[in-house]
Structure 1
């Protein structure tokens, strides 16, 4: 958190104030997902969240500070939406369930929206170094769940000792992000299904029978 954010954080002490701030962040996240960061102004956010410009600046030093909180919010939301098996990817069956839940979620949503964190990363990577670092940290946190599950499988003798859990976890993340993007553009879950099947097949080949 930057020094510019700190005084505003200290003032966010009342329940009403916290609720107002969260409403601003949630509103900004929704608008930025559909319009993009550059296509969303503070006035747009204020109107949708029913707060004035002065109230907005009470909580955020500028738009960049708000964007950073949006990245944090989307990271939390994406990880919370991974389903119950994500927290314990220590068996092949849990990986299959996680894959099926991910595909079902994308299909139910009509493949609209893609990955909120990925969308932010694409737009911010070359424009805002602080926000880019937060997106990178969000992806690392997400990937850590895959890595930890695979490491546990290896420690418990379910995964070949010669396997590389870090590389396999990165392969899952690459397949997930690429698949979500193609599914969004094509409005078809098939690219995501193929990508995840390919990544999980790499894990399956390393299972100890």
Structure 2
């Protein structure tokens, strides 16, 4: 049985796919906590338990590993957001989404920030391929927020003249800015405040 490498399209054996997955998972965990710049390929080799030759069999270098990490973290984050937002159609549902994100971040006291936002901060200005991949992921995430707001509008909760796309952009900005403030303060309160203000503004546009 062979499996296609999602990055290169090269066919992998089941064993090769497992090895590659171990490398990417280890790299993702390290880069989330330590950052991309502070994570070396030697760190990844040690954490994954593979040899350096195995790592270089699957990846040409660190940039390729980082791009694979973006794919993995993107899949995790977007699937989480699909599950959380896919059927939300009320303000109460949006509040529950907010509560879950804030509570999850509170477990880390705000540390490490958003998995995708942290990656974007480190690599977007230096790797165009990575930047484009991250841009697509943020676009998809914002699209999920747009979908929620569109359902609110279709249900009559938001006025028809409200710009759903602008609201979704603002909400995404509040979310990512909140993650960054929580990360620097090691306190989730700024994140909660940022999202709360965005949601309060959206609710102020509701049809009364």
TM > 0.5 fold call: yes
> Contact 2:182 / 2:190 at 8 angstroms: preserved in 1?
yes
> Contact 2:81 / 2:141 at 8 angstroms: preserved in 1?
no
Q: Give the secondary structure class of the aligned counterpart of 1:160.
A: coil
Superposed displacement of residue 173, structure 1: 0.8
> Contact 2:81 / 2:144 at 8 angstroms: preserved in 1?
no
Superposed displacement of residue 59, structure 1: 1.5
Superposed displacement of residue 61, structure 1: 2.4
TM-score, normalised to structure 1, is 0.90
Partner of 1:130: 129
Q: Give the secondary structure class of the aligned counterpart of 1:88.
A: coil
Partner of 1:107: 106
Partner of 1:26: 25
Partner of 2:119: 120
Partner of 2:35: 36
Partner of 2:57: 58
Partner of 2:173: 174
> Contact 1:86 / 1:145 at 8 angstroms: preserved in 2?
yes
Q: Deviations over 1:99-149 (max 9, x none)?
A: 111111111222121111111101112111111111111111111110011
Partner of 1:153: 152
Q: Distance in 2 between matches of 1:171 and 1:41?
A: 36
CA RMSD of aligned residues (A): 1.6
Superposed displacement of residue 83, structure 1: 7.8
Partner of 1:208: 207
Q: Distance in 2 between matches of 1:125 and 1:83?
A: 24
Q: Deviations over 1:21-72 (max 9, x none)?
A: 1111111111112222222222221121111122112222222111111111
What aligned pairs does 1:69-84 form with structure 2 within 5 A after superposition? Answer: 69-82=68-81, 84=83
Q: Distance in 2 between matches of 1:164 and 1:146?
A: 13
> Contact 1:103 / 1:189 at 8 angstroms: preserved in 2?
yes
> Contact 1:117 / 1:135 at 8 angstroms: preserved in 2?
yes
Q: Distance in 1 between matches of 2:185 and 2:20?
A: 36
> Contact 1:179 / 1:191 at 8 angstroms: preserved in 2?
yes
Superposed displacement of residue 79, structure 1: 2.5
Count of aligned positions:
202
TM-score, normalised to structure 2, is 0.90
